Chains A and B, each alone.
Chain A
Amino acid sequence: MDSRCVLKVEGLWWKYQGSKEWVLKDVNLEVSEGEFLGIVGPSGAGKTTLCLALTGIIPHAVRGKIRGRVFVFGKDTSKNPLHRIMEDIGIVFQDPDIQFVTMRVIDEVVFPLENLGLPREAMAKRAYWALKVVGMMGFEDKYPFELSGGQKQRVAIASMLAKLPKILILDEPTSDLDPVGKREIFQVLQTLREEHDMTLVVVEHNVEELAKYADRVLLLNQGRVLAQEDPRSLFSKCEYLIRTGVYPPQVTEFFYRLNKYRGLSVANKLPLTPEEAYEAMSKLKVSVTPPIVEDASKNCKSTPIISFENVEYVYPDGTVALRGVDLKVFRGEFIAIIGANGSGKTTLVKHMVGILKPTKGRVTVLGKDTREASVSELALKVGYVYQNPDHQLFCTTVYDECAYALRNLGLPPQEIEERVEKVLERLGLKEFAGTPPYFLSKGQRQRLAVATVLAMKPEVIIVDEPTTGQDHVQSRSIMELLKSLNDEGKTIVVITHDMRLVAEYAKRVLVMSKGKIIADGSVRSVLARLEDLDVSALTPPQITRLFLKINPNVSILSVEEALRTVRWVA
């Protein structure tokens, strides 16, 4: 074994007990000391299973069939006790909540050290060091419910760091986080790499961040390693990646398509960041023509279907979640609401469906004051799809799930049948009508959650974080569905952190901060001035940033639009 190789996987096959399919198929992999290995792949590729195998949790704590071997610092994981393997490795999982197994930050960080039987002084020294590294000093006495998702995830990293592992594995650590949380985690990873020379293995859907930091990226699909290369080389294979279900960084895709379809070799190596792309663009003889923009104000002439007048909302514990919100939603709009966690996005949309009633001010839905209407009455007009579909699927079959609300409404059986069949057909779920919802994949469950709302034929559909924890293909599929509903005249309100999807699908954007709407306008205008707003965590998509840098008056929303914008100067 190479002396610098700290992690080695040899011909690894794995299938879970009771499963017919191998989840990992002949995986071979070597990680060198101090290396940052990124792992990408669509949902179901086997990424989490690979992480569990790298730590020895597979096969020690999970039942199944294994072939091949995994070595951590030369120790065969299947032949050494798990606690020995774990001395060298730390792992951080996706869900920040489930990883917090004690009631306070300091207890959480010292917990693995207590398990190691360390003396008290050593524990304190290591714990405070780890908290300092992740920027959580001063939070020692905080309870989990007093922390944001990003802060909880940083505590999870600190609790692993305190063990002083030589290798840190992070399995989609930013999936559940808002833009602030994502940025916090990548800053911590950068510190670990630069100041502590730690070996990092990071599974991540956010390829743009990964491209910035990783030395090498491994592409996994259906349990097989399809490629393991440096980020530039891997992300340059744009078409191949997209076919696999992984979207490359936007600027990389832009230059790739510029090369391919314009038949020009515009750069020797494809850029990965807007800065590199700007440098490459400045060497080209191109002009940028601002796109023709449709008049976004045409809807404003109609009567609003939802209206907020100076709305304030105070939670029972005294937290002021909305402060003087004025808003008008018009028929046929596609609105994206963006902002950090705790900025009031979900509180705002819960007022639209009447789950929350304003403490001050007035909310009207189709002319009716929400304080005078019941939630079920409003639900007929405004449908609400939760972030986690598991919170809203409670029937025993997919069919019953869609029929549930209709039965509550007392509709005749024939109409229920017609509506349910139509909506299941529409969302590609007809073949699963008799299947229990929890047997569906996460993407299918998300579609079913939309179907249950659609069956009620609401005029407005609100979708809360439909892209969280989903891969890019799943996210895009749900956004395409919303777009087609919008094309049919439905009003769509979506909360999302994915700025790329906001740019490509929304027509109007609301930016929220500290309970207020601090920007409201067409997606193009809001993205153009996003970096000037006091919401440091929100950054426009790569392609928008690139073109704003070239010409501050040109706000580009997608790679396609960017390609149409560029003109060659003779």
Chain B
Amino acid sequence: MASAPVFGIRQIAVTAITAGLCLPLALFAIILVPIPGLPAASGFWIPAGFYFVMTLWFGVWGALGGHIATTIAMGYFFGYTLHIWMDGGLGDFIAPIVALVIFKLLRANPELKEKRDYAVWIVSVMIASLVCGLWVHTVHLLFGIITWPFWWVGVLTYFIGDTLAILIVGTPLLKTLTEYVKQSPMYIWK
């Protein structure tokens, strides 16, 4: 059998389904919990919980799906701008990969069977959210959307908001569904 190409049918399926799932969730998140003063942001970024988990299960393709969903959803409200692509779009691509790398390096189990797995999950989400928060608000600042005093407020609220959203949505998904998802041929922890 021929070896699978780097971005083959399975990878397209993971990316497109993740993006398709996260796209409406991102739109709902922006409408339901908007943050005054921070365009295209949501106080509870529901899709992050999904694409973080998808990335842990299926690799970087989950992150790419999150990136596509975020870019399209944020652009729908705030214009398909270079700025949108760079800030939320790229930020949401980098963050789950950071978490995946930490998970892989520390050899944690996505099924969250032991206390150590929980600890790695929480720490990886916190680091990823901080990295993403710094990225997003620096881009905002460079494009002139926010002012300096809002930079650190933005980073802090982003860090807290994203960490909570990912942990609240993602933890039960990992805990309850990993055993089921393990049956999928796309699952990477085999």
Interface set of A (CB-CB < 8 Å, partner B): 17-18, 59-63, 81, 396, 436, 438-439
Tell me whether B6 is interfacial, beta carbon within 8 Å: no
B9 x A61 contact (CB < 8 A): yes
Instruction: Name the one of B2, B179, B182 contacting A81, with C-beta atoms under 8 angstroms.
Output: B2
Give A266 to B100 CA distance when docked, in angstroms: 71
**Neighbouring A residues of B188 by C-beta, 8 Å:** none
Given A61-B9, A81-B2, A438-B177: A18 and B172 within 8 A (CB)? no
Q: Nearest Cβ in chain B — how far from A345, in angstroms?
A: 26
Interface set of B (CB-CB < 8 Å, partner A): 1-2, 9, 172, 175-177, 179-180, 182-183, 185
A18 x B183 contact (CB < 8 A): yes
Give A218 to B179 CA distance when docked, in angstroms: 35
Where chain B touches its partner, the secondary structure class is: helix
A63 x B185 contact (CB < 8 A): yes
18 contacts between A and B (CB under 8 A): A17-B185, A18-B182, A18-B183, A59-B1, A60-B1, A61-B9, A62-B185, A63-B185, A81-B2, A396-B172, A396-B175, A396-B176, A436-B176, A436-B177, A436-B180, A438-B177, A438-B180, A439-B180
Q: Nearest Cβ in chain B — how far from A319, in angstroms?
A: 21
**Neighbouring B residues of A81 by C-beta, 8 Å:** 2
Give A282 to B1 CA distance when docked, in angstroms: 61
Q: A18-B183, A63-B185 known; 8 other A-B pairs, CB under 8 Å?
A: A17-B185, A60-B1, A61-B9, A81-B2, A396-B172, A396-B175, A436-B177, A436-B179
Most buried by B among A59, A60, A61, A62: A61
Give A438 to B9 CA distance when docked, in angstroms: 25
Give A17 to B187 CA distance when docked, in angstroms: 12
Residue of B nearest to A438 (CB): B180
Residue of B nearest to A397 (CB): B176
**Neighbouring A residues of B175 by C-beta, 8 Å:** 396
**Neighbouring B residues of A436 by C-beta, 8 Å:** 176-177, 179-180
**Neighbouring A residues of B177 by C-beta, 8 Å:** 436, 438
Give A18 to B180 CA distance when docked, in angstroms: 12
**Neighbouring A residues of B2 by C-beta, 8 Å:** 81
Residue of B nearest to A19 (CB): B183
Give A395 to B175 CA distance when docked, in angstroms: 12
**Neighbouring A residues of B182 by C-beta, 8 Å:** 18
Give A355 to B134 CA distance when docked, in angstroms: 43
Q: Nearest Cβ in chain A — how far from B82, in angstroms?
A: 26
**Neighbouring B residues of A63 by C-beta, 8 Å:** 185
Q: Nearest Cβ in chain A — how far from B115, in angstroms?
A: 19
**Neighbouring A residues of B176 by C-beta, 8 Å:** 396, 436
**Neighbouring A residues of B183 by C-beta, 8 Å:** 18
Residue of A nearest to B176 (CB): A396
Most buried by A among B2, B9, B172, B176: B176
**Neighbouring B residues of A61 by C-beta, 8 Å:** 9
Give A62 to B182 CA distance when docked, in angstroms: 15
Give A17 to B184 CA distance when docked, in angstroms: 9
**Neighbouring A residues of B185 by C-beta, 8 Å:** 17, 62-63
**Neighbouring B residues of A62 by C-beta, 8 Å:** 185
**Neighbouring A residues of B179 by C-beta, 8 Å:** 436
Residue of A nearest to B185 (CB): A63
Residue of B nearest to A78 (CB): B1
Give A63 to B183 CA distance when docked, in angstroms: 11
Give A204 to B175 CA distance when docked, in angstroms: 38
**Neighbouring A residues of B172 by C-beta, 8 Å:** 396
Give A506 to B78 CA distance when docked, in angstroms: 53
Q: Nearest Cβ in chain A — how far from B178, in angstroms?
A: 11
Q: Nearest Cβ in chain A — how far from B24, in angstroms?
A: 14
Give A17 to B182 CA distance when docked, in angstroms: 11
Give A398 to B84 CA distance when docked, in angstroms: 42
Residue of A nearest to B10 (CB): A61
Residue of B nearest to A18 (CB): B183
**Neighbouring B residues of A17 by C-beta, 8 Å:** 185
Q: Nearest Cβ in chain A — how far from B16, in angstroms?
A: 9
Give A278 to B179 CA distance when docked, in angstroms: 55
Residue of B nearest to A59 (CB): B1
Q: Nearest Cβ in chain A — how far from B180, in angstroms?
A: 5
Give A316 to B9 CA distance when docked, in angstroms: 38
**Neighbouring A residues of B9 by C-beta, 8 Å:** 61
Give A436 to B179 CA distance when docked, in angstroms: 10
Residue of A nearest to B187 (CB): A18
Residue of A nearest to B175 (CB): A396
Residue of A nearest to B182 (CB): A18
Give A90 to B177 CA distance when docked, in angstroms: 34
Q: Nearest Cβ in chain B — how far from A27, in angstroms?
A: 21
Give A18 to B182 CA distance when docked, in angstroms: 9
Residue of B nearest to A61 (CB): B9
Residue of A nearest to B8 (CB): A61
Give A81 to B3 CA distance when docked, in angstroms: 12
Residue of A nearest to B2 (CB): A81
Give A155 to B183 CA distance when docked, in angstroms: 31
Residue of A nearest to B1 (CB): A60
Give A396 to B176 CA distance when docked, in angstroms: 6
Q: Nearest Cβ in chain A — how far from B77, in angstroms?
A: 20
Q: Nearest Cβ in chain B — how far from A241, in angstroms?
A: 32
Give A17 to B186 CA distance when docked, in angstroms: 11
Q: Nearest Cβ in chain B — how far from A233, in angstroms?
A: 39
Q: Nearest Cβ in chain A — how far from B69, in angstroms?
A: 17
Give A438 to B182 CA distance when docked, in angstroms: 13
Give A492 to B185 CA distance when docked, in angstroms: 42
**Neighbouring B residues of A60 by C-beta, 8 Å:** 1
Residue of A nearest to B17 (CB): A98
Give A25 to B81 CA distance when docked, in angstroms: 56
Give A436 to B182 CA distance when docked, in angstroms: 14
Give A62 to B10 CA distance when docked, in angstroms: 10
Residue of A nearest to B172 (CB): A396
Give A81 to B2 CA distance when docked, in angstroms: 8
Residue of A nearest to B180 (CB): A438
Q: Nearest Cβ in chain B — how far from A118, in angstroms?
A: 20
Q: Nearest Cβ in chain A — how far from B13, in angstroms?
A: 10
Q: Nearest Cβ in chain B — how far from A208, in angstroms?
A: 35
Q: Nearest Cβ in chain A — how far from B11, in angstroms?
A: 13
**Neighbouring A residues of B1 by C-beta, 8 Å:** 59-60
Q: Nearest Cβ in chain B — how far from A124, in angstroms?
A: 26
